[in-house]
Amino acid sequence: MINSHIPVLLNEVLEELDIKKDGIYVDLTLGRAGHSKEILKKITTGKLISFDKDQEAINESNQILKQINNNYILIKSDFRFAKAKLAEIGITKVDGILADFGVSSPQLDNANRGFSYSQDCDLDMRMDQDNHLKASDIINTYSSNEIERILIENADVKFANQIAKAICENRPINTSFELNELLKQTLPAKILREKNPSKAVFQALRIAVNDELNAIKDFLEDACSLLKPSSKMLFITFHSKEDVIIKKFFQNLVYQDPKLNKLPIQIKREWKQKIIFPSETETQENKRSRSAKLRVITRLE
């Protein structure tokens, strides 16, 4: 069954990409083809190449995209390897790159995948089912210090030290509800009233299982060399940890030493950046979009 999934900031993405019929575009995070299918509709002689680690996403998206046209290639791979994978099919330059770093709704809704803290499920959280590391492995085998580091580095989890110690003292913990209950027993009532702590803890574990932040950093090292002049990279982020990586990368690209402005010749800028937020209408219609940011960088030369 093909699950419904509402792509975030879709209109803004399409406007920024300004898709050419003969262009080559890359969607680093295929998901259920929410963005990919709309990009593909605008391509007639060009090509869309979409990546995903999740074979279910590849299979379901293929059913969607083949109804539009055949100007696409789906690649099962971590997007950190995108440059090498593109080179394998003869592509070294592209007209646009998109990544939506959110977890797709079908992944969250499927209890068998173990992403959700609102359903009782095994602590899995693997986007790539060929990956051997599960969230339960981290919970049940990592040291208290390692778990604390994961909680802090990936989600700024409050009381990370206490949570890590409680996990190690109460192992084995194999299901989402077991972990939820442990958090309720461990944390102060005030913290529990302010916000559900499971959200941040599950985010931290998911990022660790899938090595998400390092994947972003690895891709960014290759990203600039892929872009043609006047082409753009678009990144949709949902939490501060991934957003700060993109933000700093963009800032480093656009930075120009103020001393250059004093030179008698004008130094051309190579990059420009912008940030776009969801409209009020979108945030009302799609709650998932409320924390989203679209960061765009354009190669000028």
User: Whats the size of the chain, residue-wise?
Assistant: 301
Q: Cβ neighbours of residue 74 under 8 Å, at least 6 residues apart?
A: 30, 50, 51, 52, 58, 61, 62, 65
Number of alpha helices (DSSP H) and beta strands (DSSP E) in the chain: 14, 7
Distance, in Å, from the CA atom of 240 to the CA atom of 255, rounded to the nearest integer, reads 21
What residues does 52 pair with on adjacent strands? 76
Lateral strand order in the sheet of 227-237 = 72-76, 47-52, 24-27, 94-100, 227-237, 293-299, 271-276
On whether 33 is known to bind a ligand per the annotation, the reply is yes
Tell me the C-alpha distance between 91 and 83, whole Å: 9
Three-class SS of residue 119?
coil
Does 52 belong to an annotated binding site?
Answer: yes
Q: Which residues of 64-91 are buried (b: 16+ CB within 10 A; e: fewer)?
A: ebeebeebbebbbbbbbbbbebbeeeeb
107 annotated as a binding-site residue: yes
| Nearest Cα residue to 231 out of 51, 26, 91 | 26
| 79 known ligand binder | yes
Q: Is 99 annotated as a binding-site member?
A: no
CA-wise closest residue to 57 among 73, 81, 84, 33: 33
According to DSSP, residue 68 is labeled T
Residue 267: count of CB within 10 angstroms of its CB? 10
What residues are designated binding site? 33-35, 52, 79, 100, 107
What residues are designated binding site for S-adenosyl-L-methionine? 33-35, 52, 79, 100, 107
